[in-house]
Amino acid sequence: MDVTGPGQPYPTRRATQDAFAAHVSAGKVAAFEALGVDLVMGERAGAIFTDAFDGRRWLNCHCNGGVFNLGHRNPRVLEALRAALDHLDVGNHHLVSGHRAKLAERLAATTDDRLPGVVFGVSGGEAIDAGIKAARAATGRSTIVSVRGGYHGHTGLALAAGDPQYREPFGPNPPGFVQVPFDDLPAMDAAIGHDTAGVLLEPIPATLGMPIAADGYLAGVEALCRERGALLLLDEVQTGLGRTGRIWCHQHDDLTPDVVVTGKGLSAGLYPITATLMTPAAHAVFDEQPFVHLSTAGGAELGCVAATTALDIIEEPGFLERVEELGERFEKGFASAPFTLRRRGMFIALKFSDPDGGVAAAGACYDAGIFAVFANHDRSTLQFLPPLVLSDGEADEIIDRVNTALT
């Protein structure tokens, strides 16, 4: 029976779904109903969230692409935000802010100050847009090369660099965008020309099923960029901030990108904030024309407090080592499972032989109390991103539930 969940604005599940369908997305409600998913998210903490009306419990192994890397409602971030609310609000993006300066300084330090310039935003797409703008301004060129099946957001330039299915309903793509297959260095070589401003890619493309590139591919892309005067832009919205066992995934390959984009986990799941990290040359246009790119809520001072506290946690001694330890625990626990594991740290995908295996696995896991989502551009693959702060007991419970559900 439906009962009013804590803090829920509607008294029943049906009333919630009807209001959502009427005013937000009828298609989403219909799609979930067709899949037999009637979830309305309720209470949440750590690795767990519940249904708002019947108390069903799921272990979150999707984490919204890394938004909940530190778990739901991380106590340390909550405490910092509560204290900040006594003094701060969004702030004024036109003015100098110590909170934005401090967060930018901390982010720059994660790159050994190779990327000292920072532009803040609210969404990943907005942050990608800033990076593309920077590449075009710095090079005086226009073309952006990206990877087929990649995902960079739903805003203008980010949308143009992403998969056609997200932009085709809205009209033709603007000129200046070229796509090539991932992990195909000859195709990338052919695509980077005299008018290429930058190459944009995820070190491990999430919606493509998290394929790990062959040794030398990413370094080869960087070499092509250097040779031809193009900038290397890395979308680390999902792979960054400790998810792969390093602060940044590109550190595994000793890359020196010109632009790194971060988001999702930077918010700690509590206050939306993104950042685009840049070399001085890429950032120069924002110094020379300080009001050419604005974001009213970008770098909100409350968001800076959440993000700085998240960095405090990620940079604590032993945190990254623990991420790798957890990844190895999952790899060992899934050794006999009916899928192939793709993994770098805790950036994990379960690859099935059936073309729709990831879809079927998502349903089976859902029924077993594990929430995970298939990769949109490789439906044979299940994206598997548990929080980075799991206990051994929670990890083992997830392993047991997945093995039982999929065997």
What whole-number distance in Å separates Cα of residue 237 and Cα of residue 12?
35
Is 229 in a helix, a strand, or coil?
A: coil
Q: Where are the domains of the chain?
A: 98-314
Alpha carbon distance 292, 391 (integer Å): 46
Residue 1 binned pLDDT confidence (cut-offs 50, 70, 90)? very low
CB 233 within 8 A of CB 258: yes
| Tokens matching residue 1 | 């029976």
Do residues 63 and 74 make contact, with C-beta atoms less than 8 angstroms apart? no
The Cα–Cα gap between 373 and 276 comes to 27
Tokens of 192: 């980077």
- Between 386 and 171, the more confident residue is 386
pLDDT tens-digit readout, 64-121: 999 999 999 999 999 999 999 999 999 999 999 999 999 999 999 999 999 999 999 9
Q: For residue 349, list its beta bridge partners.
A: 342, 383
pLDDT given for residue 36 in this prediction: 87
pLDDT of residue 4: 55
Q: 28-55: per-residue pLDDT in tens?
A: 999 999 888 999 999 999 999 999 999 9
pLDDT of residue 241: 98
The b/e string for 154-183 (b: 16+ C-beta within 10 A; e otherwise) is ebebbbbbbbeebbeeeeeeeebbbbbebb
What SS3 state is found at 245? coil
Task: Record the pTM.
Answer: 0.96
Find the radius of gyration of the CA atoms of the chain: 21
User: In one letter, which amino acid is 102?
Assistant: K
Tell me the backbone φ, ψ of residue 174, rounded to 5 degrees. -65, 155
CA dihedral 62, 63, 64, 69 (to 10 degrees): -140
Say yes or no to pLDDT of 166 above 90: no
Q: Which helix (H) or strand (E) holds 260?
A: strand 259-262
The CATH number fitting domain 98-314, selected from 3.40.50.620, 1.20.1250.20, 3.40.640.10, 3.50.50.60 = 3.40.640.10
- DSSP 8-class letter at 124: H
Is 297 a residue whose pLDDT tops 80? Answer: yes
